[in-house]
Amino acid sequence: MKKPPLPESPYRDSAPQATQPHASAQAGASALALAKTVIEIESQSVAALAGRIDATFLRAVNLLLACRGRVVVSGVGKSGHIARKIASTLASTGTPAMFVHAAEAAHGDLGMVTPADVFVAFSNSGSSPELATIVPILKREGTPLIAITGSVESPLAQAADIHLDCHVEREACPLNLAPTSSTTAMLALGDALAIACLDARGFGAQDFARSHPGGALGRRLLTRVADIMRTGNAIPTVGLEANVMDGLHEISRKQLGMTAILDAQGRLAGIFTDGDLRRLLERGADVRGTRLADVMTRTPLTIEAEALAAHAAQLLDARRKNQLLVIDAERRVVGALHMHDLMAAKVI
């Protein structure tokens, strides 16, 4: 039995067809134009905030700086996502902070908040029921409240000790509905608060590295040569009386492409590398009868154990070397470092 044909879709005429390249091109041009409009609207919304950075903003910064507890950042919906990000930014830039979801706060998490804290609430409308539920508790407990909203007349703005206005003229959404410009403005204003506090605290690169030890910056600013250098029997060394063959054997055993040459007191006298060996062979030298003391480099590249590993990487790059020796104040070799060690430690 022959099956009846499927009913036609009411959207077929409006859907782009593969056989209509001109329609696809028009749709693509429309998408590009809309994307540019979104970026323009959002950038204008952020730029408008600059005119509102005034004494009220400074009061908010001073309140955060004077906080004896933690900065508790809260919100719901899209504003909640922004609040969570700002809490993270504050915490990583020297202002102890945490995020508490406004809905969860009304069901027990408000117990995390104390009068020593500062509560920062994000809400575009300023009338989120979840925040409205907990604001009276905050006020009764004496916890200072900073509200960041898009409406000066909103209940949240009126209840706040400090209100920061992040009003936008319109959303970037063509329907003027989806939170777009408003959340971008909130994010920018929250970042401005965090960075103003960072600067006021004198928070520097070293402080940032300590709160980001797993990141690239943390590794560059915290990792010392002593943390990754090769020590003990892993250091290739021979005495001044050794010949080139002795040095070659030591280079092969320790696999660092070089060996240190030490004097009778154990101090660094020079270095011999596999590059030096190649140049000797090119000249036809007798590697068995040649003493290392006669062909070594007497001013090898060295560094101290407490130096930053990033500095060691810069030295190697500037001198076009692959390895260097680590010495103490008496020029005794305490370690050896290869470019691969820096790569393994993700310093470079």
Residue 164 pairs in a beta bridge with 148
Kindly report, residue by residue over 69-122, the tens digit of the pLDDT: 999 999 999 999 999 999 999 998 889 999 999 999 888 888 899 999 999 999
Count Cα neighbours of 30 within 13 Å in the Cβ-side half-sphere: 7
pLDDT of residue 345: 86
Per-residue DSSP letter, 308 = B
How far is the C-alpha of 151 from the C-alpha of 154, rounded, in Å?
5
Mean pLDDT of the chain: 88
Could you state, in order of their start, the residue ranges of all structural domains in the chain? 34-203, 225-344
How far is the C-alpha of 47 from the C-alpha of 106, rounded, in Å?
35
pLDDT of residue 10: 38
Quick one: the chain helix, strand, coil %, rounded to 5?
A: 50, 15, 35
pTM of the model: 0.65
φ, ψ dihedrals at 258, nearest 5°: -165, 165
pLDDT of residue 27: 81
Q: How many angstroms from the chain centroid is the CA of residue 232? A: 35
pLDDT of residue 346: 84
- With beta carbons less than 8 A apart as the criterion, state whether 70 and 127 touch: no
Q: What is each CA distance from 302 to 75, 223, 258, 316, in whole angstroms?
A: 55, 17, 13, 10
Task: Identify the sign of the CA torsion 179, 181, 182, 183.
Answer: positive
- For residue 348, what are its two tokens? 């470079």
How far is the C-alpha of 97 from the C-alpha of 295, rounded, in Å?
61
How far is the C-alpha of 89 from the C-alpha of 189, rounded, in Å?
12
Overall fold of domain 34-203? Rossmann fold (3.40.50)
Beta-carbon count within 10 A of 189 CB:
22
Mean pLDDT by 10 residues, the chain (348 residues): 46 45 73 93 96 96 96 96 96 92 88 95 95 94 96 96 96 92 97 95 73 62 89 95 92 94 94 90 83 92 93 92 94 95 87
How far is the C-alpha of 120 from the C-alpha of 110, rounded, in Å?
13
Residue 297 pairs in a beta bridge with 271
Amino acid residing at 274: D
- With beta carbons less than 8 A apart as the criterion, state whether 100 and 113 touch: yes
How far is the C-alpha of 69 from the C-alpha of 187, rounded, in Å?
23
pLDDT of residue 284: 83
CATH architecture, domain defined by 225-344: Roll (3.10)
How far is the C-alpha of 174 from the C-alpha of 104, rounded, in Å?
33
pLDDT of residue 13: 44
Closest CA to 124 of 68, 195, 180: 180
- For residue 238, what are its two tokens? 């021979």
How far is the C-alpha of 13 from the C-alpha of 314, rounded, in Å?
64
Beta-carbon count within 10 A of 35 CB:
11
- With beta carbons less than 8 A apart as the criterion, state whether 99 and 88 touch: yes
